[in-house]
Structure 1
Amino acid sequence: MELCTFFEFAVERHSDKVAVVEKNKRLTYAELGEQVNQVAFSLQKLGLRKQDCVMILLKNRVETVVIYWAVQKLGAIFTPINFQLSKDDIRYCIHDVEPKFVVFEDLSEHLIMKETFKERPIFIGLSDGSQLSDISYRELEEGGVSFYEHVNVGAHDISSIYYTSGTTGVPKGVPRIHLNEYAATMAHIVQCRYQSFDRTLGNYPLYHVIGLRSLQAMTALNGLYVALPDFDSYESLQMIDQEKISCLFLNPTMYHDLVSHPYSNEIDFSAVHTLAYSGAPMSEELITKCDEIMQPDRIVNHYGSTEIYTFTYCSDVRKKPGSSGQPGIHQHIKLITPDPEKRSSSTNVVSTGEIGEIIVNMKSPEAFKGYWNRPNLTKKVIYDGWYYTGDLGFIDQDGDLKVIGRADDMILSGGENIYPELIEKILLEHDKVKEAVIIGEEDERLGQIVVAFIVPNDDSLTFQELDRFCKYHQQLPTYKRPRKYVFVESIPKSPTGKILRSKLRNGQFIELYL
């Protein structure tokens, strides 16, 4: 199904239900549908045509939701950009996608003010006072006749282009067709066991696949999407209570901030039935705390990527902490022999319990077809009908996947393969360690040595104390012990909570106790 039809059906089904809330703004599905039609008409009148790109530099707002659905109705391409990226990365995205329209708010105007375009797009400012805008969003809403000319949108037309920064190089454009987005939304609803009229927080930005998936899932269920322009744990807790939120899809850092807030003990979480997370592992301690405070029916771990939404999911990590579960309803995965020098054949499947690279079948309706303007990069990750994730893991005796890290993060020291996760987990057992990340550092004799970056939670912690702890730990062989410790203020992470090991390798950190 095309997303324009998907949205229209939701509006017709339960037009009186509240669809989206942002502070004092509340729109029913009927009211949202009217605003979407009006904005679609105005954009079409300004010259937006099928498969033109509309670049979005907005936070989560009612206006962002309206523009998203209006773009889908016109068969154009919604291209949201993370304006927390560096200016160089944003400049790359602009020139890579060559947008026909750019929609921005005051906060992001400076990022494009002095930019030179091959063909100048039409600028739409969220406020009336912008110097850059050709037309304001308010003028789109007040443009008069709202009957836009019907566009024949197909399931294989591009719906959105997400830009994923990864850990190295320039951002990668990931085109997602209508079929991809619809299939991923349906899978998410089934895998998280969402229900009709569910209600969620729009805490994740709509430039991220998790953010859009939350919006799409609530639309499919005629549920409520509460748009929050910025993540604030106090405001989020208020909304959970006030709007009777029933399901959440966040990253572990956000959950940590919610359940650690003093106000969390005063919140009524009785409507919450599902907590879902993605982007980074969730510690057993955090899982327990979320369970005790929110008491959901389930805590779902979703493992996937922007390129293929779902790889696997664990239906309740309380029963098996750290597990990534089994393949999603549209998926088929394999674990093959890791080969850093040359892509291993998809037939080189490893045995149960053996570490391998995770690859995913490209026949999935959730799977993209290749990166935007990056054919060489596409060839590196798609081969013989499989998507090579670059992640390492193993299948246990229950048939569940355990992800242990990136193939790029594997350390080769003295001829031994060393995986960071085990060492990090052991270091976190020390009561003076708040966070721990392991990387490999070049060494003339061993090839690489194990280096531990530590965020201490006690100023009395010393390198010697940690070294003794590791030396006598029964589960840590001598060859895996860190040979160097670096105490830092914080661990660099992406907006989705992923650890940016490349920044640690490149010296982009603040060292303590110099």
Structure 2
Amino acid sequence: MFDLGTSFMASVARDPDALAIVDGDVRLSYAQWLERISSLVAAFDGMGLKAGDPIVTVLQNRWEAASLHWACQFAGLTIVPINWRAKPDEIDFVIENCEARAIAFEAVAGQAMAESRLAPSIPRVAVGADAGQAELTFAEMVAVPAPTANPRASADAWSLMLYTSGTTAKPKGVPRRHRAERMAGLAHVAQNLYAHGERTLGVMPLYHTMGVRSLIAMSLIGGVFVCLPRFDVGQALALIEAEAITNLYLVPTLYHDVVHHPRFAETDVTSVRKLGFAGAPMTDGLLRKLTEAFSPELFVNHYGSSEIYTFTINQKAAAKPGSAGKAGLNQLIRVVKLGAVSAHDLAATGEEGEIVALAASDEAFEGYWKRPEADAKSLRDGWYFTGDTGFFDAEGDLYVSGRVDDMIITGGENVSPVEIESCLSLHPGVSEVAVVGLPDERWGKIVVAFV
């Protein structure tokens, strides 16, 4: 199997002059981008970095972040992208946990980096102007011409480590190999029917699985990744029109903001033919609004996670609102009874239970980084227990109803807040809604909607 660096080289060979990445005034073809990436690989060598070494990045979605991502794939380094809003103690946790050998950051993270206890102990790379104190700058790294980089990683080498959000504990590291990342990218291309030369709005963070998938997918098909460093509705609309964006892959919240922006009606969005969403359920009302606004040829509901990229795909999201569809190309899905220990304790059709996925998927991780207790909870007998609740309907389509911990138990009955939110969202007077359970002496909890 190809590693990711070889995959990028294949795209360069197919169409070297095709536009690859856009970020403001920066417009690079695949051949030009490879030159910058090669300079970065040579700079990594000059820093003494070795195969497998982790590099932390604290960056927004800029061309430098995308370039560092690809340079790590060529050099056989593990990129560890984290939220650019990370606090000093969060940066320190990641540096220590992943055993980082270098860190790249920009001005927006400059204060946190200055207050970090561990950042000064490893080489720091400053990206952009006024980033802060560092041993090296990105501009210096790419300014030195270098021979074309040859991919050094095998398909089994580590590609990146994503950190999942921590609610009750520290974030969990999710290490992923080249082969899993490449297969996830190919599945994303196939499941969204992407064609050569697609153009996507690169706004989902590159520390998030959706952002990484968009970047890799575009590079695999000779497409264009149009950077939007941080989400701004006005800028997003301007880029959609100016760059003739052909597909969008966003979370529902961003779609909501786009179609409700005052300038949406006057923006030419006719180039957008494919919509995809993930990360959270989409209300029936928003599905309807987007269908009317874009008239997409394809509207995909992608259900997955950082650990196992694809669980299920619904390529006709608007035709069957709320449905997450059927298992993806590389996946097998089950719904087991709530509280089940075994993946063989199946829930009946229509019965709400916990969603589990086969851990042998080509897109899957192999376990959390240094977290055996998390592995023991989530990985059982070759199955990944997602912690999500859902059920299969009579047609075999999956519906995701919430999280195991989010179910509202009222009067002894399990109530899904997602189902109620979707129903209320259909009312023309409801723009946003959130449903929670509040303590009640009689019912235990009562269902309350905030509209």
Residues 23, 228 of structure 2: 8 Å contact kept: yes
- Residues 276-355 of structure 1 mapped to structure 2, 5 A cutoff: 276-339=276-339, 343-355=340-352
- 1:168 to partner: Cα distance: 3.1
For 1:168, the equivalent position in structure 2 comes to 168
For 1:367, the equivalent position in structure 2 comes to 364
Once residues 119 and 135 of structure 2 are traced to their aligned partners in structure 1, the CA distance between those partners, rounded to angstroms, is: 17
Once residues 129 and 292 of structure 1 are traced to their aligned partners in structure 2, the CA distance between those partners, rounded to angstroms, is: 44
For 2:197, the equivalent position in structure 1 comes to 197
**3-state SS of the aligned residue for 2:363?**
coil
Structure 1: any 5+ residue segments left out of the alignment? 456-514
Once residues 362 and 201 of structure 2 are traced to their aligned partners in structure 1, the CA distance between those partners, rounded to angstroms, is: 27
**3-state SS of the aligned residue for 2:97?**
helix
- 1:54 to partner: Cα distance: 0.6
**3-state SS of the aligned residue for 1:91?**
helix
- 1:381 to partner: Cα distance: 0.2
Which of 1 and 2 has higher RCO (CA within 8 Å, sep 6+)? 2
For 1:450, the equivalent position in structure 2 comes to 446
Residues 56, 80 of structure 1: 8 Å contact kept: yes
Once residues 266 and 429 of structure 1 are traced to their aligned partners in structure 2, the CA distance between those partners, rounded to angstroms, is: 25
Range moving further from structure 2, 40-49 or 161-170: 161-170
Once residues 202 and 285 of structure 1 are traced to their aligned partners in structure 2, the CA distance between those partners, rounded to angstroms, is: 25
For 1:265, the equivalent position in structure 2 comes to 265
* Deviation per residue, 1:211-235 (Å, 9 max, x gap): 1111111111101110111211121
Once residues 420 and 286 of structure 2 are traced to their aligned partners in structure 1, the CA distance between those partners, rounded to angstroms, is: 19
**3-state SS of the aligned residue for 1:160?**
strand
**3-state SS of the aligned residue for 2:344?**
coil
Q: Structure 1 residues 271 and 54, CA, compared in 2 at 3 Å: closer, same or farther?
A: same
Q: Structure 1 residues 307 and 8, CA, compared in 2 at 3 Å: closer, same or farther?
A: same
Equivalent residue letter for 2:436? I
Q: Structure 1 residues 267 and 436, CA, compared in 2 at 3 Å: closer, same or farther?
A: closer
Q: Structure 1 residues 130 and 206, CA, compared in 2 at 3 Å: closer, same or farther?
A: closer
Residues 128, 138 of structure 1: 8 Å contact kept: no
Residues 338, 344 of structure 1: 8 Å contact kept: no
> How many residue pairs are counted as aligned between the two chains?
450
Equivalent residue letter for 1:169? A
Once residues 234 and 174 of structure 1 are traced to their aligned partners in structure 2, the CA distance between those partners, rounded to angstroms, is: 34
Q: Structure 1 residues 321 and 136, CA, compared in 2 at 3 Å: closer, same or farther?
A: same
Once residues 128 and 244 of structure 1 are traced to their aligned partners in structure 2, the CA distance between those partners, rounded to angstroms, is: 29
Computing the radius of gyration from Cα coordinates, the structure with the larger value is 1
Residues 23, 63 of structure 2: 8 Å contact kept: yes
**3-state SS of the aligned residue for 1:360?**
strand
Q: Structure 1 residues 121 and 372, CA, compared in 2 at 3 Å: closer, same or farther?
A: same
For 2:211, the equivalent position in structure 1 comes to 211
* Deviation per residue, 1:18-63 (Å, 9 max, x gap): 1000111100001000010011101111111111011001111111
Once residues 269 and 115 of structure 1 are traced to their aligned partners in structure 2, the CA distance between those partners, rounded to angstroms, is: 43
- 1:356 to partner: Cα distance: 1.5
- Once the two structures are aligned, what percentage of the paired residues are identical? 39
**3-state SS of the aligned residue for 1:354?**
coil
Q: Does 1:396 align with 2:397?
A: no
Once residues 394 and 45 of structure 1 are traced to their aligned partners in structure 2, the CA distance between those partners, rounded to angstroms, is: 53
Equivalent residue letter for 1:24? D
Once residues 336 and 289 of structure 1 are traced to their aligned partners in structure 2, the CA distance between those partners, rounded to angstroms, is: 34
Q: Post-superposition, which runs of at least 4 consecutive aligned residues in structure 1 deviate over 6 A?
A: none
Q: Structure 1 residues 293 and 371, CA, compared in 2 at 3 Å: closer, same or farther?
A: same
Equivalent residue letter for 1:210? M
Q: Structure 1 residues 235 and 431, CA, compared in 2 at 3 Å: closer, same or farther?
A: closer
Once residues 336 and 328 of structure 2 are traced to their aligned partners in structure 1, the CA distance between those partners, rounded to angstroms, is: 19
Residues 107, 130 of structure 2: 8 Å contact kept: no
For 2:70, the equivalent position in structure 1 comes to 69
- 1:117 to partner: Cα distance: 2.4
Once residues 386 and 167 of structure 2 are traced to their aligned partners in structure 1, the CA distance between those partners, rounded to angstroms, is: 14
- 1:208 to partner: Cα distance: 0.7
- 1:421 to partner: Cα distance: 2.7
Q: Structure 1 residues 197 and 86, CA, compared in 2 at 3 Å: closer, same or farther?
A: same
Residues 302, 310 of structure 1: 8 Å contact kept: yes
For 1:123, the equivalent position in structure 2 comes to 124
TM-score, reference length from structure 1: 0.83
- 1:415 to partner: Cα distance: 3.0
Equivalent residue letter for 2:159? S
For 1:95, the equivalent position in structure 2 comes to 96
For 1:83, the equivalent position in structure 2 comes to 84
Once residues 250 and 164 of structure 2 are traced to their aligned partners in structure 1, the CA distance between those partners, rounded to angstroms, is: 17
Range moving further from structure 2, 424-433 or 232-241: 424-433
For 1:438, the equivalent position in structure 2 comes to 435
For 2:185, the equivalent position in structure 1 comes to 185
Range moving further from structure 2, 395-404 or 150-159: 150-159
* Deviation per residue, 1:470-506 (Å, 9 max, x gap): xxxxxxxxxxxxxxxxxxxxxxxxxxxxxxxxxxxxx
Once residues 84 and 425 of structure 1 are traced to their aligned partners in structure 2, the CA distance between those partners, rounded to angstroms, is: 31
Once residues 411 and 264 of structure 1 are traced to their aligned partners in structure 2, the CA distance between those partners, rounded to angstroms, is: 37
Residues 128, 136 of structure 1: 8 Å contact kept: no
**3-state SS of the aligned residue for 1:154?**
coil
Once residues 299 and 12 of structure 2 are traced to their aligned partners in structure 1, the CA distance between those partners, rounded to angstroms, is: 30
Once residues 259 and 435 of structure 2 are traced to their aligned partners in structure 1, the CA distance between those partners, rounded to angstroms, is: 27
For 1:141, the equivalent position in structure 2 comes to 142
* Deviation per residue, 1:298-333 (Å, 9 max, x gap): 110000000000000100111101110000000001
- 1:144 to partner: Cα distance: 4.3
Once residues 66 and 429 of structure 1 are traced to their aligned partners in structure 2, the CA distance between those partners, rounded to angstroms, is: 42
Equivalent residue letter for 1:396? D
Root-mean-square deviation (Å): 2.0
Equivalent residue letter for 1:321? P
Residues 85, 109 of structure 2: 8 Å contact kept: no
TM-score, reference length from structure 2: 0.95
